[in-house]
Structure 1
Amino acid sequence: MDGSDDGAAEGELDEEVYRRAFRSTEAPAVIADPDFVIRDINRGGLDFLGYELDDVVGQPLTVISGDDDVSAEILDSLSRGERWRGQFAVETRNGRNVYGTGSASPIVVDGETKGIVAVFVDTTKQRQYENAAEVLNRLLRHDLRNELNIMYGHIQRAQSAAESPAADESLERARDKIVDIVHKTERARDLRDLLEKSHSASNRPVRLDIVLNNKLVEVMHEYDEAEYEFEVFPEVTVVADDLLPAAVEAVLENAVTHNDAETPRIEVSVDVGDGDVVVSVADNGPGVPESQRDLIFGREEFDQLHHGTGISLFFADSVLSGYNGDIWVEGNDPRGAVFKIRLERP
């Protein structure tokens, strides 16, 4: 705000009004002095970064910077009395980098720079969803190529062993692979569409028990060969959005479809803590070796054709990251895996 242009208008309102307006603005905002030392930060900024007022007032602006190069660029522009706009990162109190767009402007009064104001708009969730959509497409392309190679191999075997039991078996397996390809294509398309539609949605309180009940009913109907065990879920809200049901469904389906037991058994439970909630989905399947517990979520890749082992788990991991949540897998006793979903409470 340039005082030389707006001085008359400012005289119509008390200085405290402007102070309260700044403090109550939802978008994270910081005011620094000409030496780039933080002198004030609004409630939106404190909530977003996880700090208290006394933690940051008197500290250099770089204390909340998540990108030193961009910070240097911003400070250089402000030193020349110029406004800066662009993409940059800030670092929260727990060391997590969050990304967004924003602007930083000199506060000029009577031709003299009295301070600096910076405003930040969080786009971390949008970036995560866009990255997730891109990787989903890559996963689909790689999986399709592998599945098609297998299908062609079986078809060739069938052609060379025509009118034999081996030919029938190979053709049956080839048809199964075609069904797998169609399913993966449809699943990837649906998940991509969900990401594209929801990347701009704001996190809000969501009733976890309602989501679990609804999705369990759907999964139990579709996979009625499995046994399900769960008790009445506690009525608890979590920080999420419209993608949470799809993420929960992905984990439940994975517990059934990758289960090699004669009778798959799925147990779902909820543990409510002071600041978060952990959902456990236990199964009696083959389990997940420790060496693959990050790989299955698509967090690692060991060659250019292998990106995790399932599109759905990658999707769930990406969605939960957008809530500042988490998903991991542990071993089950005596056999199987336990997938755990951690969500924050509002």
Structure 2
Amino acid sequence: MSGPDLELYESAFREIDAPALIVDTDLVVRDVNEAGLAFTGYDYDELVGQPATVISGDLETYAEIVETIAEEAWSGDYELRTKEGAIVYGSGSVAPLIVDGWRRGYVAIFIDTTKQRRYENAAEVLNRILRHDLRNDLNVATGSLESARARIDDEETLDLLETAEAALGRVSAESDRAHDLVDHLEGSSEAENRPVRLDYALDEALIDATRSFEGVRFASSAVPSLRVVADHLLAPVFTAVLENTVEQSDRERPAVEVSVEEREASVLVTVADVGPEGTMDRGDRVLDHEGAELHQGSGIGLFFADSVIESYGGEIRVGTGPDGAAIVEVRLRTAEGP
């Protein structure tokens, strides 16, 4: 193949939005398009000439691909390891390149399903919380009620009943909340990241939080009308962060302040419990990064927020200020476009 036909196919390979690469018969990378470089995090010269195993995140699936393409094209799901070592997910196909009747190598085309997989994983965890963690509170409530019935004339009966009622209230609230967050995730796994107005999302979240917590003061500094990489879950994410900040507060009168700081190619949104004293100086907002990474025990709302923010290519950090008050920092990538 030569001339205009070769140029046409080379142009198609370079311009296609899906990550794609070409390997030779020894499965050494010989070419990769721009989408493939962006997906893996490598520069062109870093990846070309390397064995395909360098980007494989699942050697078992890699072996399956190698075995299959000896006879026919392969298609399915896979795990890919980026230059930074992160695992991303995708589906796609690997097909032989036949030129003049000879097998010269293989072309692999991928579809990024990382966001869908993360949302599905988060939904699975939240469902597990509903089944396990909330069941523990139900058991506490049930046991307390049974004890109350057995000791109906005892002076501690009212305390037992109050314990049961409080536990049932937590179960009900957390169950409703978790179901809502699961619905968000399951209905959004195929949502594409796009430019989203940060000020609109924060305004919506502040309104929702104000309605949920009567007597709690929510305040925000001026929010620039910039756009960030996100989707329609950005407002629910900020609502979850605001709610978590109130729920973690041990003050009689929590007051939550939101501030926004523009940085190069990103924006930092800080949510802090400042209490009745008012605004905390920016210089005092020092996160205790020791052990500050989020985990499933950080709370349903923050777990949901962390799962979504990660799908945007952003990051959440949690910690405490000098007075022990809760602080959450959300970093988002700024976006171009309308």
TM-score (norm 1): 0.85
The answer (yes or no) to whether the contact 1:259–1:284 under 8 Å persists in 2 is no
Match of 1:22 in 2: 13
Distance 2:28 2:151 in 1: 79
Shift of 1:289: 9.4
1:323 is aligned with what amino acid?
Y
The answer (yes or no) to whether the contact 1:81–1:106 under 8 Å persists in 2 is no
Does 1:275 find its partner at 2:259? no
Give the aligned length: 324
Shift of 1:200: 1.2
Secondary structure of the residue that 2:242 maps to in structure 1? helix
Match of 2:125 in 1: 135
Distance 1:96 1:326 in 2: 14
Does 1:66 find its partner at 2:64? no
Match of 2:241 in 1: 251
Shift of 1:228: 2.5
Shift of 1:269: 1.3
List gaps (5 residues or longer) in structure 2: 276-286
1:139-218 equivalences under 5 Å are: 139-162=129-152, 166-218=156-208
The answer (yes or no) to whether the contact 1:231–1:269 under 8 Å persists in 2 is yes
When the two chains are superposed, the root-mean-square deviation of aligned CA atoms in Å is 2.5
Alignment counterpart, residue 31 of structure 1, candidates 22, 26, 33:
22
Shift of 1:81: 4.7
Alpha-carbon deviations, 1:244-290, whole Å to 9, x = none? 221111110011123221110212112222132221111158xx998
* CA distance 1:290–1:19, shift in 2 (3 Å): closer
Shift of 1:41: 1.4
1:82 is aligned with what amino acid?
E
Distance 1:22 1:284 in 2: 54
The answer (yes or no) to whether the contact 1:215–1:248 under 8 Å persists in 2 is yes
Does 1:297 find its partner at 2:286? no
Shift of 1:338: 0.8
Does 1:321 find its partner at 2:310? yes
2:227 is aligned with what amino acid?
T
The answer (yes or no) to whether the contact 1:65–1:91 under 8 Å persists in 2 is yes
The answer (yes or no) to whether the contact 1:256–1:264 under 8 Å persists in 2 is yes
Match of 1:304 in 2: none
List gaps (5 residues or longer) in structure 1: 4-9, 299-307
Secondary structure of the residue that 2:330 maps to in structure 1? strand
Distance 1:327 1:235 in 2: 21
The answer (yes or no) to whether the contact 2:241–2:301 under 8 Å persists in 1 is yes
Does 1:335 find its partner at 2:324? yes
Structure 1 stretches (4+) deviating beyond 4 angstroms? 288-294
Shift of 1:150: 2.0
Shift of 1:26: 0.5
Does 1:108 find its partner at 2:108? no
1:316 is aligned with what amino acid?
A
The answer (yes or no) to whether the contact 2:257–2:274 under 8 Å persists in 1 is no
1:342 is aligned with what amino acid?
R
1:75 is aligned with what amino acid?
V
Match of 1:40 in 2: 31
TM-score (norm 2): 0.87
The answer (yes or no) to whether the contact 2:320–2:326 under 8 Å persists in 1 is yes
1:14 is aligned with what amino acid?
D
Shift of 1:341: 1.4
User: Which deviates further from its counterpart, 207-216 or 62-71?
Assistant: 62-71
Distance 2:219 2:165 in 1: 34
1:61 is aligned with what amino acid?
A
Distance 2:291 2:103 in 1: 56
Secondary structure of the residue that 2:187 maps to in structure 1? helix
The answer (yes or no) to whether the contact 1:281–1:340 under 8 Å persists in 2 is yes
The answer (yes or no) to whether the contact 2:288–2:321 under 8 Å persists in 1 is no
Distance 2:136 2:274 in 1: 28
